[in-house]
Structure 1
Amino acid sequence: MSFLTLEGIEAFYGPSQALFGVDLQLNEGEVCALMGRNGMGKSSTIKVICRLLRHSAGQVQFDGKDMAALPPHKAAQAGLGLVPEGRRCFPNLTVQENLIAAARPGPWDVSAVTRLFPRLAERRDQSAASLSGGEQQMLSLGRALMTNPRLLLLDEATEGLAPVVRQEIWAAIRQLKAETGMAILLVDKSLAELRQVADHAVILERGSNVWSGAMTALTAEVADRYLGV
Structure 2
Amino acid sequence: MSLLSLTGVTAHYGASQALFGVDLTVAEGEVVALMGRNGMGKSTTVKTICRMMPARGGLTFDGHDLSRLPSHRVARLGIGLVPEGRRCFADLTVTENLLAAARPGTWTLPGIAALFPRLGERHGQRAASLSGGEQQMLAIGRALMTNPRLLILDEATEGLAPIIRQEIWDALQRLRADGGLSILVIDKSLKELRRFADRVVILERGRAVWSGATDALTDAVSERFIGV
Alpha-carbon distance in structure 2 between the residues aligned to 1:124 and 1:65: 36
- TM-superposed deviation, 1:180: 3.6
SS in 1 for 2:88: coil
Partner of 1:6: 6
- TM-superposed deviation, 1:46: 0.5
Partner of 2:45: 45
Alpha-carbon distance in structure 1 between the residues aligned to 2:172 and 2:136: 13
- TM-superposed deviation, 1:87: 0.1
Partner of 2:28: 28
Partner of 2:107: 108
Residue type matched to 1:119 in 2? Answer: R
- TM-superposed deviation, 1:7: 0.3
Alignment partner of 1:185 is 2:190: no
Mapping 1:88-107, distance limit 5 Å: 88-107=87-106
Structure 1: tracts of 5 or more residues without a match: none
Partner of 1:121: 120
Residue type matched to 2:110 in 1? Answer: S
Alpha-carbon distance in structure 2 between the residues aligned to 1:186 and 1:83: 10
Residue type matched to 1:91 in 2? Answer: A
Mapping 1:157-176, distance limit 5 Å: 157-176=156-175
Partner of 1:70: 69
Counting aligned pairs with the same residue, the percent is 65
SS in 1 for 2:7: strand
CA deviation string 1:63-117 (max 9, x = no partner): 1111111100000000000000000000000000000001000010111001000
- TM-superposed deviation, 1:58: 1.0
Mapping 1:80-95, distance limit 5 Å: 80-95=79-94
Alpha-carbon distance in structure 1 between the residues aligned to 2:53 and 2:45: 8
Residue type matched to 2:2 in 1? Answer: S
**Where has structure 1 moved over 2 Å in runs of 4 or more?**
none
Alpha-carbon distance in structure 2 between the residues aligned to 1:143 and 1:214: 30
SS in 2 for 1:189: coil
| TM-score for the superposition, normalised by structure 2 | 0.99
CA deviation string 1:173-212 (max 9, x = no partner): 1110111420000000000000001000100000001100
Partner of 2:214: 215
Residue type matched to 2:61 in 1? Answer: F
- TM-superposed deviation, 1:226: 0.5
Residue type matched to 2:124 in 1? Answer: D
Q: How many residues align?
A: 228
Structure 2: tracts of 5 or more residues without a match: none
Alpha-carbon distance in structure 1 between the residues aligned to 2:53 and 2:31: 23
Residue type matched to 2:34 in 1? Answer: L
Alpha-carbon distance in structure 2 between the residues aligned to 1:86 and 1:146: 19
Residue type matched to 2:96 in 1? Answer: E
Alpha-carbon distance in structure 2 between the residues aligned to 1:93 and 1:75: 24
Residue type matched to 2:167 in 1? Answer: E
Alpha-carbon distance in structure 1 between the residues aligned to 2:180 and 2:124: 31
Considering only aligned residues, what root-mean-square deviation do their CA atoms show, in Å? 0.6
